[in-house]
Amino acid sequence: MNNWFTVKVKYTKQLENGTFKRVSEPYLLCAMTFTDAETRIYEELGQIIRGEFNVVGISRTEIHDIFHYEECDVWYKCKITFESEGGNVDGEVEKKKKVAQNFLVTANSVKDAFEKLKESLSTLMVDYLIPSIIVSPIVDIFPFREELDKEISRRPLEEKDIVVHTPKGKKVFSAPSSDFDDDEEVNFDDEDEDDSSIDESELEDEYTEED
The amino acid at 130:
I
CB distance 48 to 13 below 8 Å: no
pLDDT tens digits, one per residue of 14-40: 888 989 999 999 999 999 999 999 999
| pTM of the model as a whole | 0.69
Number of domains making up the chain? 1
- Would you tell me how many other CB atoms lie within 10 Å of the CB of residue 81? 14
Range of the domain at 47: 3-207
Find the helix or strand (DSSP H, E) in which 170 lies.
strand 170-174
Q: Which residues of 8-28 are buried (b: 16+ CB within 10 A; e: fewer)?
A: bbbbebeeeeeeeeebbbbbb
Cα distances (angstroms) measured from residue 150 to each of 25, 31, 147, 153:
27, 12, 5, 5
pLDDT tens, the chain, 211 aa long: 679 999 999 999 888 898 999 999 999 999 999 999 999 999 999 888 888 899 999 999 999 999 999 889 899 999 999 998 766 666 566 778 899 999 999 999 999 999 999 999 999 888 999 999 999 999 999 987 765 544 444 443 343 333 333 434 666 766 544 333 344 555 555 444 444 333 343 333 444 444 4
